Structure 1
Amino acid sequence: MRTRLVLGLVLALLLTACGSDDRPDAGRVTLRFQSLAWQEESVAANKELVAEWNAAHPDVRVEYVQGSWDSVHDQLLTSFEGGEAPDIIHDASDDLADFAYGGYLADLTDLLPRRLKSDVPARSWETTTFGDGVYGVPFLQEPRVLIANARRLKESGVRIPTPEHPWTWAEFRAVTRQLSGDGKFGVAWPLKEPVSATLNLSLSAGGRLFHRGPDGKVTIRFEAGDEIVPSTIHHQVGTDRSASDTTLGSGGSDTLPGFFGGRYAMVPLGFSYRQQIVQQAPKGFDWQVLPAPAGAGGLAQGVSPQTLSIAEDSPHKKEAAAFLDFLLRPENMVRLALGDWMLPTGERALADPALRTTRHDWATGTALAAHLRPAPAQSVRGYPEWKDKVATPAFQEYYSGAIGLDALRKRLEEDGNLVLARYQR
């Protein structure tokens, strides 16, 4: 009898244990957030916000996963196909098209709160809209600007451009001639990856390059507005000798030692490069941010904002969307922008006084925000192949003087349209 009683008690305890789960993580949702933040301040801001979310939401825990811009496309493709993609994905808008059309990303149209939808302007949402769906939240962006040696410009007597009165492309070319001589150059173009820089700046001259027909198909036409920016660079390097030919294959950071040393008066760089300049410039070096030149399109410039998306395979899309809403509240978007030295897309965040200060020329950047437009190739299927196989080598040869403008046009149009046609059958 006693033995049966003991066995009964043991069985009851086992059943009770099976019927309830007292583990600390029982019922908890865990979201994997892959961030591409890499600058120390940016990584810190992201991790701090994740920690704040976790402290306030014990039932929905976010796990921070560090990714890399250098390998993100291939890494995401592998994780999507293997069913192991992170729930929340940090990327750039010009990398989303194939993932969106391939069904790997969730349509956020009905997942995002009205506050966030209304705070980000329509032109920014265009960068993550593919077909009838929205596949990412654009949250950080940066214009390409001219970082200039302020002392050298002042001593030369050239007119200093402002967002209200920028240089024209012709004036910019003339200024770089004036600033050149004695082994020094007016400008250094870091064009290791020439395509996005050329196409995005060409919007200011009225260039578009990609044209979508009534049937929805895209063709490439290299027209008058598309010629101005590349021909300016080509002549600065080959005719005027006002741009160094040795930097054409360089990345932006590679030009900074020559810039600090007085070899180059200006370098066209992304707005976020200011952080490197603040950290690396010699003591007493006087620099300033100038707007990129303007043309028929004014200060218009193409951008591919940083984005946050949700994987289609995520079983916790509503929770992931709630985290995005938290991460991109205006005050948090400001923190992310300051950490990355970039501009937020949200209008309330952009109005924050911290981003309107003259310190480090934040105000110059925010003055350009209204002129930023979706990059011309934003939604073009086949763009990565066209860029790698056709456009990059063609622009590199043109800028180095190996081919002329007619050959550039032929390569971009004829070879390029053959590539795009395969994606539009």
Structure 2
Amino acid sequence: MHQRTTRVLALGGLAALTLSLTACGPAIGDGGEAADSSKLQAPTEASPSGEITIWDREGDLFSVFDEAIAAFNEKYPDIVVHHEAVDIAAKLQNTLITGSDVPDGVFLDDQLVAGYADHLWDLSDVLAPYADDIAQQKLDVNSQGAGIYGVPFDLDPGLLFYNATALEAAGVDASSIETYDDLLDAARAYKAAVPDSGPIHLEQSPFLGQLQLEMYASQLGTAMTDADGQLRLDSPEYEQILTFLDTVSSEGLGTRAEYLSPTDVETLDSGKQVFVPWAIWFDFAPQQLLENTAGDWRAMPLPAWTDGGARSGAMGGSSFILPKDGENSQLAWLFYEFLMFDEAGYSTVWGANSVYPEGLNTSIPSYLPAADPAKPLFQPVDAFGGQDLWAVATEAGAEIPGGVPTPSWWGGAVDYLGNNIQLMLDGSLTPQEVIDDSTADIQANLIDRQ
């Protein structure tokens, strides 16, 4: 299965895990920075040399990064990159605790970075030259206190994917959708024309349902916690989002299925499910999984919650972390600096390659000079009728409000908030009960026990 799918499902397997790692002793970097320093410094050698071990998950992104090593070695011929496909969810925690065979760099989901922060280099200094040109949301989610603990990789803007052919046949004008109220009206009109349909995707996975909820919240400039880590679920914004989801469910306007499960794929490919508010990485489905409706799908910015409101929010994302106990952290920084901030690097990652001949189109760069709407790194997508998805995604990405640090207990909250969303969709809880019950449980079982 596609890397984007396995990534979120693997992270879902960690949903019940709240990481509480004990910090290891500080390391000395290649350049000899002070042992008590928590901030990584860039190497000063004119021609740095050495070997680095980089962990990624097996899948298409592993192959993309692997192919980029040759371009990196054109700039740094004396740095040998050992690129390993690893079950990061299974190995990273114990590796950091024991301090044995620690890699120099690791590809990690943004939601997990905070849980490992005690073991990671603070990257504030090395990122400083680029910080003004990195999407603020990515800096925010990788921050803890005054430190930044991940090199931002992708930006995953939320988009509204829709089956243009099916909507046109039903007489529904997708171009009229500008707000979520408009989306509800369009779904009602489609269901009237196609009675056995459930037009809007309703996520059945507690983890992914929580992740999607945070995409909606991101649009409204909020999140489960504020910048100080205080819960703010009990707010008009979350009530509005949950009421929308409850309306979709109670009026029969949704198809409830786990993301890209057989039920999900069948209803998408049969015209029963025609609206998917999701991160850009949903575009994998029409390209690889949908046989009957490939070419029928299009993407637009998410509807706004209020007139003139933001038309996108962040849903997921990944970054690169550098463990303090890695032997060559500074050289690993050069590798990630090249991939993310050097035109030769990011063009290799998102541009045409042997894995994605037309470019990697399941995300966009979080480095703003690389995400220029006028300079596409990937080509129009045939499965979207030749639509210029780059332009849609980069313009949506520019609308994502800034965020806040991701709490270390985010995954553990799925046991409460994620599950309660599902109970609401079952009809067992009201939106306000989801807020009240989740707030109480997260506070008592996750925050107060830290």
TM-score calculated relative to the size of structure 1: 0.81
> Which residue of structure 1 aligns with residue 435 of structure 2?
409
Larger CA deviation: 223-232 vs 292-301: 292-301
C-alpha separation between the residues in 1 aligned to 2:323 and 2:221? 36
Residue segments in structure 2 that go unaligned for 5+ positions in a row: 1-47, 351-358
The residue identity in structure 2 corresponding to 1:53 is F
Give the total of aligned pairs. 378
Shift of 1:398: 0.7
Instruction: Quote the residue 2:411 is aligned against.
Output: 384
Q: Residue by residue, what CA displacement relative to the aligned partner does 1:201-243 show, whole Å, maximum 9, x if unpaired?
A: 133346544235xxx45134422211122221222122x1111
The equivalent position to 2:187 in structure 1, one of 147, 155, 176, is: 176
The match for 1:90 is: 107
| 1:364 to 1:295, Cα distance in 2 relative to 1, 3 A | same
Is the alpha carbon distance of 1:154 and 1:37 closer, same or farther for their aligned partners in structure 2, counting shifts above 3 Å? farther
Aligned AA (2:269)? F
1:35-50 aligned within 5 A: 35-36=56-57, 38-39=59-60, 42-50=61-69
Bigger radius of gyration: 1
Task: Please give the per-residue CA displacement for 1:48-68, whole angstroms capped at 9, x wherever unaligned.
Answer: 111333465443211111134
Q: Does 1:293 align with 2:303?
A: yes
CA distance in 2, matches of 1:396, 1:91: 27
- Alpha-carbon offset, residue 319 of structure 1: 1.4
Give the aligned residue type for 1:199. Answer: E
Corresponding residue SS for 2:55: strand
- How far apart are 1:98 and its partner, in Å? 1.6
Superposed CA deviations along residues 343-371 of structure 1, whole A, max 9, x for unmatched, are 11111211123358573423211110112
Cα deviation, 1:176-205, whole Å, max 9, x if unaligned, reads 111114312222223312111112213334
Matching of residue 202 in structure 1 with residue 217 in structure 2: yes
Q: How does 1:10-409 map to 2 (within 5 A)?
A: 29-36=50-57, 38-39=59-60, 42-54=61-73, 57-68=76-87, 72-83=88-99, 84-100=101-117, 103-112=118-127, 114=129, 116-161=130-175, 167-180=178-191, 181-192=194-205, 193=207, 194-205=209-220, 207-212=222-227, 216-238=228-250, 240-245=251-256, 247=257, 250-254=258-262, 255-282=264-291, 285=294, 286-296=296-306, 297-328=309-340, 329-337=342-350, 338-339=359-360, 341-351=362-372, 352-355=375-378, 357=380, 359-360=386-387, 361-373=389-401, 378-387=405-414, 389-409=415-435
Q: 1:257 to 1:210 in 2, by over 3 A?
A: same
Structure 1 pair 307/374, CA: closer, same or farther in 2 (3 Å)? farther
Task: State whether residues 205 and 229 of structure 1, in contact with CA within 8 Å, keep that contact through their aligned partners in structure 2.
Answer: no
CA positional deviation for 1:314:
1.7
For the 8 Å contact 2:269–2:292, the answer to whether it is kept is: no
CA distance in 1 between counterparts of 2:442 and 2:171 reads 44
Q: Kindly provide the CA deviation profile for residues 321-358 of structure 1, in whole angstroms up to 9, marking residues without a partner as x.
A: 11122222234224323336211111121112335857
Q: Which runs of 5+ in 1 are unaligned?
A: 1-26
| Residues 90 and 263 of structure 1, relative CA distance in 2, 3 Å threshold | same
Counterpart CA distance in 2 for 1:186 and 1:276 is 17
Letter in 2 for 1:354: L
What displacement does 1:38 show?
A: 1.8
Letter in 2 for 1:130: Q
1:344–1:225 CA distance, 2 compared to 1 (3 A):
same
**CA contact 2:53–2:104 (8 Å) conserved in 1:** yes
Paired with 1:188 and 1:381, the residues of 2 have a C-alpha distance of 29
- How far did 1:300 drift? 4.3
Q: CA deviation at 1:151?
A: 1.1
Judged with a 3 Å threshold, the aligned counterparts in structure 2 of structure 1 residues 28 and 336 are, in CA distance, closer, same or farther, namely closer
Change (3 A) 1:185 1:408: same
Preserved CA contact (<8 Å) 1:147 1:266: yes
Q: 1:252/1:335 Cα in 2 relative to 1: closer, same or farther (>3 Å)?
A: farther
Decide whether aligned partners of structure 1 residues 320 and 355 sit closer, same or farther in structure 2, where only a CA change above 3 A counts.
same
- Looking at structure 2, the residues matched to 130 and 187 of structure 1 have their Cα atoms a distance apart, in angstroms, of 36
Local SS of the residue matching 1:146 = strand
- List per-residue Cα deviations over 1:55-92 (Å, max 9, x = no partner): 65443211111134xxx344211111121221011112
RMSD of the TM alignment (CA)?
A: 2.6
> Is 1:90–1:308's contact at 8 Å kept on the other side of the alignment?
yes
Shift of 1:96: 0.6
Q: Which secondary structure state, in structure 1, belongs to the residue aligned with residue 201 of structure 2? A: coil
Shift of 1:292: 1.8
My pick for the range that moved more, 290-299 or 256-265, is 290-299
Distance 1:109 1:178 in 2: 51
Task: Report the structure, 1 or 2, having the larger helix content.
Answer: 1
Normalised by the length of structure 2, the TM-score is 0.76
1:147/1:300 CA distance change after superposition, 3 Å = closer
Aligned residues of 1:36 and 1:90 also touching (Cα < 8 A)? yes
